[in-house]
Copies of this chain bind each other. A is one copy, B any other.
Amino acid sequence: MSYWIITVGTELVTGLTLDTNSQHISERLGKEGFFCSRQVSVPDDVAAIAEVLNEALASCDGTIITGGLGPTSDDVTREGVAEGLGLKLIFKDDLKAYLDRWYSRFESFQDIVYRQAYLPEGTVEIPPTTGSAAGFCLDAKGKVVIVLPGPPGEMSAMLESAMPFIRARWAGGESYFIRTLKTTAKSESWLETTLRDIMVREDVDVGILAKPGEISVQLRVRSDGKEAVDRIMNEVEKEIRSRLGRLVFALDDETLAEVVGRLLCSQQMTLAVAESCTGGLISKLLTDVPGSSAYVKLGVVSYSDDAKINLLRVSPHVVKGYGAVSEESALEMASGIRRISSADIGVSVTGIAGPGGQRARKPVGLVYVGLEAEDRRDAWEYNLSGPRWVVRARASQVALDAVRNYLLDRAGAL
């Protein structure tokens, strides 16, 4: 079954807001075997919404629309859907009662909020969760239409509520299954060469895709039987793992920080991080994971030489002699953060994220990672390319990967 995602908002097409809803929906429905054949963003405009909805219904099995259900006058998705499908908008008393309760927390509110009490006729209402707006499901021209609010938290909760409706309508058809092997391979073309014979298999479509610090192999199979798919996927995954070994760090939507967290938990180890050029990003990635307080003991963002010397006890001679961006400084930062935090593992990053800050023989992108544990003290040099945010993302990935590799070594040694 294939479907479109339509996200509505002038803030999207003008670039003010990054659309994260499309990714979430594609990933979530992909787990059920449903294939998104197109993602579209349009402005808050009744005619544009009506037009794209009809295009979607003409070319796939349904569509999921998000955004434009709020209280303000530029929220016109209800009107766009009604116009596109030739439906009337009906005032719902239960939604009005909900809105009265919801807005009672504010000192005052205006009647404009009652716009959210209207839904197109013949819809199945999805009750609001944390927000003020309801979503809705409907059958149109034999296709499925699901309309959800734009705020990502509300959207994802209501998408779950809509899943039984979606499954009931789309059950039984051919499905599209995906499995993604995330790797720390160095280049796309190396990976393509290494997997060349697998890439040309007839029974599975293999794609390679790169983002900073992470190159993935995606296996895709169209089939009406999950068992046969699993057999093929398992076989191909096993073959790829046998060639790539530890370069494969995760499956599907698991992040490197989650893998590191899982390894730390299973080995009952704790971690502390000293960051310079990554400026808090590594701590942020680690603590994006719920429950990470169990193994992240401390993070220090030692952006200044002072902080490296006074707090992490990096020797002033090292900073002066080798520079703050050096293997020696990385090693002392790792030792320092481990000592002051009493964590089992200390990891550090120091480097030049750019665009400024480059020095003689220290170009933008030069990054050192240090790691200290009871039985290991090591540092690595990297020359990373790209703009500031890419260098920071890559540096965070290689630092987390150093921790992963240490923990894998250690598990092997136990």
Name the distance in Å between A37's Cβ and chain B's nearest Cβ: 7
* A25 interface contact, C-beta 8 A: yes
Check if A207 is an interface residue, CB within 8 A of chain B: yes
Interface of A is mostly: mixed
Is the beta-carbon distance between B110 and A180 smaller than 8 angstroms? no
- Least CB distance from A371 to B in Å reads 18
User: Known interface pairs A192-B112, A298-B303. Does A19 touch B23 (Cβ–Cβ under 8 Å)?
Assistant: yes
Asked whether A26 lies within 8 Å of B9 as measured between CB atoms, the reply is no
Q: How far is the CA of A253 from the CA of B62 in the complex (A)?
A: 35
Complex interface: chain B residues within 8 A of A16 (CB): 27, 180, 209, 216, 218
Q: Is A71 an interface residue (CB 8 A)?
A: yes
A263: chain B residues within 8 A (beta carbon): none
Q: Which of A13, A103, A302 has the most CB of B within 10 A?
A: A13
Interface residue A255 (Cβ < 8 Å from any Cβ of B): no
A75 vs chain B, min Cβ distance (A): 9
Residues of B within 8 A of A37 (CB): 13, 42-43, 48
Residue of B nearest to A291 (CB): B356
| A109 proximity list for chain B (CB < 8 A) | 189-190, 193
A56 to chain B, nearest CB (A): 11
Contact of A300 among B22, B301, B310 (CB under 8 A): B301
| B287 close to A10 (CB less than 8 A) | no
Q: A23–B290 Cα gap in the complex (Å)?
A: 29
Sort A-B residue pairs by CB-CB distance and give the 8 closest, nearest first. A279-B287, A280-B283, A299-B301, A15-B27, A15-B26, A280-B280, A280-B284, A39-B41
